[in-house]
Each structure stands twice: as C-alpha cells, then as structure tokens.
Amino acid sequence: MRSVNDIMPMIGARFYTQLDAAQMRNDVIEEDLAKEVQNGRLFRLLAKLGTINERPEFQKDPTWSETGDRYLLKLFRDHLFHQVTEAGAPWIDLSHIISCLNKLDAGVPEKISLISRDEKSVLVVTYSDLKRCFENTFQELIAAANGQL
C-alpha cells in the first residue's frame, strides 16, 4: 500500500503545472471582471448624465437645464462629446471621454475649463465641483420620481 508521500514525487511536476495553469486562468478571469466593473461604472455615469442633460424642463420650469448645477453639467457634456479642432472638424477621442468620466467619478481636484457654445463664457471648475453638482442634481430627479418634491 502506497501513501500520498510515495505518490507525490511521481505526480509532483504535473501537479504544479496544473496549479500554475489554474492560477493563470484565475488571473485572466479577475482581469475580465475588473473590465466589466469599469464598463458598468462608466455606463451608470453616462446614463445619469444623460438623464440630467437630456431633460429640457423639470417641474414645468423650461429654464431648469440652463441654470445652476445643470448648466455646468451641460457644459461638461459639451466638453466630453462636442469638441472641435481649430479647423472646426469634430474632435473624437475616446480616451479623453473615459479619462474625464473617471475624473468626474473620483471627484479629483483637477481644474477644467468649460466653455459655452457661443464661446462668450468660460467657467473654471474642478471635477470635485462637477461631481457635487452631478450628485445633487441626480438626487433632485430621484426625489421627484419618488414623489418627495
């Protein structure tokens, strides 16, 4: 009768190969999960931003989207999606969009210049200011949806 101690030298190399393969597969799965979490987080941000920005009026106030925190968020949306080159051509840079959304989500103290469409107004705010505006405005919509306003 052989014990585990007798068999282990015979299968040891195979055992460690299988263990290494299982750990590498686990690393790949964890990396995929991290990507999906990141994608979900960015999608939630975009969905909330769209809920705020694409609402022209709120509680029968047609100027709602053009005042206060909502105006800053509208300018931020333009900063994300509507930039142009010096020649006037659309400037599309997905890394810019993702980077800005990540900074918004983290509320970093980095300053950003938001320019109105007519280029007559420039507002300098931080991503932390924008995050506060974003959260307050979305909570205002949630409260109204739940009948608390």
What is the number of helices (H) and of strands (E) in the chain? 4, 2
Structural domains of the chain ordered from first start? 1-148 (1.10.287.3700)
Q: Report residues of the chain scoring pLDDT below 50.
A: none
- 41-75: pLDDT as tens digits: 899 999 999 989 888 778 777 778 788 889 999 99
Is 0.85 surpassed by the pTM of this model? no
Q: Give the pLDDT score at 125.
A: 96
Read off φ and ψ for residue 115, nearest 5 degrees. Answer: -115, 135
**CA trace torsion 90, 118, 80, 45 (10° rounding):** -140
**For residue 127, what pLDDT is reported?**
97
pLDDT of residue 76: 95
Q: What is the pLDDT of residue 149?
A: 58
Residue 55 has a pLDDT of 82
